[in-house]
Structure 1
Amino acid sequence: MPTLFSLRLCLPCRRLLRGVLITCSALLFSGCSTFGQSSLQPEPVPDLSELAHDAAAQMVASNPDMTRYSPMIAATFVDIDNLTQSSTFGRISSELMASALSRQGIKVREVKMRDSLFIEEQVGELILSRQVQRLSKRYDARSILMGTYAQGQDYVYVSARVVRSTDALVLGTADFRLPLNNNTRTLLGTGGW
């Protein structure tokens, strides 16, 4: 019984058959290589809430005694380039971190004011403003959550810390970055694409 390759075909037919076989083989192998790639889902980009909860867990894990410095009040996170400015991003970052720290066992006092609660930086070291010191006494707060953020080209970087209200000693810190996308730019007030 003759096989396909032992059949006597004219030269043009053999070339055509060889071309068809090569094309089918190429399609088969290319399909196999893209099949493995298309079945892999890209990792989801973490959102601000997830990053804040991970950062809070990291803070408490690095200093479990931090929970002793309850209650805590939260200051609005500010723009690193202008410490008297914030944005929706700074306000929600502070809220999410306070919520996450509360889940980690820190008692958080709710402080809502007409103007946001800011921490001001003066030359050199971080200094608690008089307003914050008065508020921490008024609310009997033993610690304060504060943070800064900086917008880069592709990411916004956040640095959060919990400081003791009496002497501004840092009890815990955490840093994270969030990809800049349309949503993040809107929160920062720089507009979407």
Structure 2
Amino acid sequence: MKKIFKTPAPAMTAVLLISLLLTACGQTHAPRTLSAASPDFFGIGDNLARQLINNRRRSLNTNETLIFTTIVNLNNLDQTSKFGRALSESLATRLFKYGFHVIELRKAGAIMVKDKTGELILSRESRKLGKEQKADAIVAGTYSLTPKSIIINIKLLAAGTQEVLSVAGMELNRSLNINYLLADGGSPVMDSVSGDEHF
């Protein structure tokens, strides 16, 4: 006996099309801004480390020596927070695991300063330390706050020339945990970056 397949009625066809459209609409792409209700700092650090490696204009030698600095508040380059320290630790850890030699910079003043045009450049002291430590590059970064997110920018700078070798960045949704690391007692209190607390 032959099976007879009937063409669906117009009404049934319309129902099927609507169902397919609703299914497609439900499959939205993940936003570029990462949601960090419970921030995975090692995951964030790994993301930034991979960006620095992949965005390098010329191949990045994992035997290079990097001086690592604490990520600071863009509005005040002499200040950081628990968030800045936690992020710095995770990024340094990931770069070390990828084979880079990481030097913790201690007893130093501000690493980044603004020139007359407002551009961020390495301070004289950090350039001097780079030469003394025979470092290939310095990893420096900032974060800035919006009402709903926190924007992170990292630069890999040549220790001697300040040439930008690579960049990395991301935007995180602010959450209770992130706000806790940024604030104390409900009000933003940024910890000053003392000489002993610098990476």
Identify whether the pair has TM-score above 0.5, normalized to the shorter chain.
yes
CA shift for structure 1 position 163: 0.6
Query: In the alignment, is residue 57 of structure 1 matched against residue 50 of structure 2?
Result: yes
Which SS does the other structure have where 2:104 is aligned? Answer: coil
Match of 1:119 among 107, 112, 122: 112
Conservation of the 8 A alpha-carbon contact between 1:47 and 1:178: no
Extract structure 1 runs of 4+ deviating beyond 6 A: none
Larger Rg: 1
Identity of aligned residues (%): 29
Scaled by the length of structure 2, the TM-score of the pair is: 0.66
Q: Return 5+ residue gaps in structure 1 as ranges.
A: 1-42
Match of 2:133 in 1: 139
Alignment RMSD: 2.6
Match of 1:91 in 2: 85
Scaled by the length of structure 1, the TM-score of the pair is: 0.68
User: Which gives a bigger RCO, structure 1 or 2 (Cα 8 Å, sep 6+)?
Assistant: 2
Conservation of the 8 A alpha-carbon contact between 1:78 and 1:118: no
Aligned residues: 151
CA shift for structure 1 position 191: 4.6
How do 1:28-67 and structure 2 match up within 5 A? 45=36, 47-63=40-56, 65-67=59-61
Which residue identity does 2:144 align to in structure 1?
Answer: A
Higher share in helix: 1
How do 1:65-80 and structure 2 match up within 5 A? 65-67=59-61, 70-80=64-74
Which SS does the other structure have where 1:109 is aligned? Answer: strand
Q: Return 5+ residue gaps in structure 2 as ranges.
A: 1-33, 188-199
Which residue identity does 1:131 align to in structure 2?
Answer: E
Which residue identity does 1:58 align to in structure 2?
Answer: Q
